[in-house]
Structure 1
Amino acid sequence: MKYGSVVRDIRESRQIKMEDVTDDVISQPFLSRFERGQSDISLNRFDHLLKQLHLTPAEFFGLSEQVDDNQTPDAPYFGYFHDFFLTPEIISNPALLRQKLTQIKKLEVITHVEYQKRPSRWHLISWRGAQSCLNHLYLHVDPSKVISIDTSPVQSYLLGLTTWTAIDILLFGYFAEYMTPDFKMQLLTLVMKHIPKSSLLGSWDHFLLSIVFASFQQFMVDQQFPFAHDTLGIMQKLSTHFDNTNFEIILLFMNGWYHYDVGKGERKDAIREMENAISIMTILHHNDDADDLHKLKQQITGTDPTTITSDISL
């Protein structure tokens, strides 16, 4: 199979210019010849090209309808973004929090310099990611240092995609907090048109589960009930597509919450739906998830008066 034409189709569908992925390893003339099928490419160069496209090998072979039995970890193909996500352990541990702050300060400088040297869209998105991560850290360390961030380049990029890959889903989740409910619903609808058919792209299910559930929470808290209802339909489709038990459990909880707030049926039946979801999570030994759902149920019913936050865990 001519992989060059597949690379070209993927690159163009994701609005990536040729000059944004070429460098001292892969020159623009060489990439042009490769995409036209006039040059072969070495394995090392091909792997480098995938990293420049932020496309995992599994995704590439899935999109090219080929099977790769030797899948590699996704992280190297996502740039710095795996460094930008914060775990509860980091947030709750002052020493880890300071260590992470030092790391992200350095990455903010690095991504800014990279953007100045080569102002490509990806370098701008990476810089915005580092700035956003710093904001989250400063909220716990020194809120006076939190700055305003312009994420419109990220949003316009996502809105213009005609092919979505795992990195795009990751970007959606990471920057979702900056999006209005209307825009988030628009992106969710777009994503549903581009869910990959290949089972190779398994990382999508984890990303999408977090994004859809967090979006539903925002819609419910903001009383955007038509959006919340549409999100239930999206979760149902995802559950069928991925054949993933976690989708079914979260959908059960979401239905209970929706019925509790919107008032369809008895509230005790709605509570029972949420409790059933929690019980199933416990039976499956997903104890952290069960605890999170239990706390959320208490917030929904007013037993816990704290504010519901729609955090996305990727």
Structure 2
Amino acid sequence: MAYGETIRNIRIAKGLSQKKVYEDIISKSYAIAFEQGAHDISLRIFIQILDRLMIDIDEFFYIYVGYQPSQHDEFLDRYATAGNRNDLKSLQALYVELLDGTDHTSKINQAEVRSRIRLLKSFECEKVLNKSVILEEDIHTITEHLANIQTWTLREILLFANTLDYFDYEQQEVFFQTLMKSMSKYKNYDRGKNTFSVLLNNIIYELIRGHRFMAADKLLEDLEELNKDITGVFFRIMYNYYKGIIRMKLGQEDEGLKQAQSAIRILCELDFTHQAELLQATLTQILEDI
């Protein structure tokens, strides 16, 4: 089906006339041909039409493919859901499916999922994240890909956010400082805001694990700024956890401990059990060092 045919279906479903949608944008005859799939239009005009229909471009393409997520979005959703719930069975099923792919993107996805499986298996036994269990070939696949891309867009940023500990601190710093210059460009785009929130959350976690508390504290301001509305609840919980640990290190041990434990308790109540276990393990290590 051509884009114009989908536009026609949406227009009719909304009860809108051609005149109301296309007036002052394209002619009546061109609109008819466009809706029949006989004409293409420029992206600029296409966006104007979507505005008249009051529909975002993301939603349009979701409708266009039959109300199905893209292959990449489906992968991200399954990967995130299984990983966040420590669901090894689902991760392994996803990995088996990915093995059918032989292109470059499939190889990267295979490396990422296989690495997460090995990390979670290790965590189940040792209750700490042990990077040494990740295969060198998987680290190489991901780091080489990111190093060879001159300008990252959201997919590369999210991949970096999910594989931070594959890089040493110096590499992390170089990549991160470059990416932070792009954050302001994406702060008004929901998907971009969420991706940068994931990045900030994960790098703050790594900084705290490395006892770089002042650096973590500075980045908390950015995490808070990106998540002031209700959609950022998860990252607000993480903000409180990190802030509690930093308060502990600054001498406010009792208050900070209560704040960090409260965040862990909320995650447990919301059934984010795996994240709660990770945070509890880190908190335990911090307490041993005080």
Following superposition, the deviation at residue 205 of structure 1 comes to: 4.6
Corresponding residue of 1:104: 98
- Provide structure 1 residue ranges, at least 5 long, that are not aligned to the other structure: 1-39, 51-59, 112-123, 306-314
Contact 2:201 2:235 (C-alpha < 8 Å) held by counterparts = no
AA at the equivalent of 1:239: N
What are the Cα deviations for residues 126-159 of structure 1, in whole angstroms up to 9, with x where unaligned?
4333333344446759x797625242332453x6
SS in 2 for 1:223: coil
TM-score, normalised on structure 1? 0.54
Corresponding residue of 2:79: 85
SS in 2 for 1:240: coil
- 2-side partners of 1:45 and 1:277: how far apart? 56
Q: How does 1:57-96 map to 2 (within 5 A)?
A: 67-68=54-55, 71=59, 72=62, 75-76=69-70, 78=72, 81-82=75-76, 85=79, 87-88=82-83, 91-93=87-89, 96=90
SS in 1 for 2:272: helix
Out of 266, 270, 279, which is 1:286 matched to? Answer: 270
TM-score, normalised on structure 2? 0.58
What are the Cα deviations for residues 248-300 of structure 1, in whole angstroms up to 9, with x where unaligned?
2221111111222xx32321111021133345556xx52326x7336523532
AA at the equivalent of 1:170: L
Corresponding residue of 2:9: none
Structure 1 residues 281 and 212, CA, compared in 2 at 3 Å: closer, same or farther? same
Out of 209, 231, 250, which is 1:264 matched to? Answer: 250
- Provide structure 2 residue ranges, at least 5 long, that are not aligned to the other structure: 1-32, 123-132
Out of 108, 115, 127, which is 2:107 matched to? Answer: 127
Following superposition, the deviation at residue 245 of structure 1 comes to: 2.9
- 2-side partners of 1:45 and 1:128: how far apart? 39
- 1-side partners of 2:202 and 2:191: how far apart? 17
- 2-side partners of 1:156 and 1:210: how far apart? 22
Does residue 147 (structure 1) correspond to residue 137 (structure 2)? The answer is: yes
- 2-side partners of 1:137 and 1:278: how far apart? 23
Contact 1:75 1:82 (C-alpha < 8 Å) held by counterparts = no
Structure 1 residues 169 and 43, CA, compared in 2 at 3 Å: closer, same or farther? farther
Contact 1:250 1:277 (C-alpha < 8 Å) held by counterparts = yes
Corresponding residue of 2:125: none
Q: Which fold has the larger relative contact order, with Cα–Cα distance below 8 Å and residues 6 or more apart in sequence?
A: 1
Contact 1:61 1:68 (C-alpha < 8 Å) held by counterparts = no
- Quick check: which has more Rg, 1 or 2? 2
Runs of 4+ in structure 1 off by over 6 angstroms are 40-46
- 1-side partners of 2:36 and 2:237: how far apart? 42
Structure 1 residues 187 and 177, CA, compared in 2 at 3 Å: closer, same or farther? farther
- 2-side partners of 1:211 and 1:243: how far apart? 17
What are the Cα deviations for residues 166-196 of structure 1, in whole angstroms up to 9, with x where unaligned?
x344333344343333135325513422224
AA at the equivalent of 2:79: F
Corresponding residue of 1:227: 215
Contact 2:79 2:113 (C-alpha < 8 Å) held by counterparts = yes
Following superposition, the deviation at residue 230 of structure 1 comes to: 2.4
Following superposition, the deviation at residue 241 of structure 1 comes to: 6.9
SS in 1 for 2:137: coil
- 2-side partners of 1:45 and 1:135: how far apart? 48
What are the Cα deviations for residues 62-90 of structure 1, in whole angstroms up to 9, with x where unaligned?
9x988515822684163785388362467
Corresponding residue of 1:195: 186
Contact 1:239 1:247 (C-alpha < 8 Å) held by counterparts = yes
Corresponding residue of 1:118: none
Corresponding residue of 2:176: 185
- 2-side partners of 1:144 and 1:259: how far apart? 33
AA at the equivalent of 1:103: E
Following superposition, the deviation at residue 221 of structure 1 comes to: 1.2
AA at the equivalent of 2:221: G
* Fraction of identical pairs, as percent: 13
Length, aligned pairs only: 226
Corresponding residue of 2:27: none
What are the Cα deviations for residues 211-266 of structure 1, in whole angstroms up to 9, with x where unaligned?
32221111111223343122212112112377633332221111111222xx3232
Q: CA RMSD in A?
A: 4.5
Out of 252, 261, 266, which is 1:275 matched to? Answer: 261
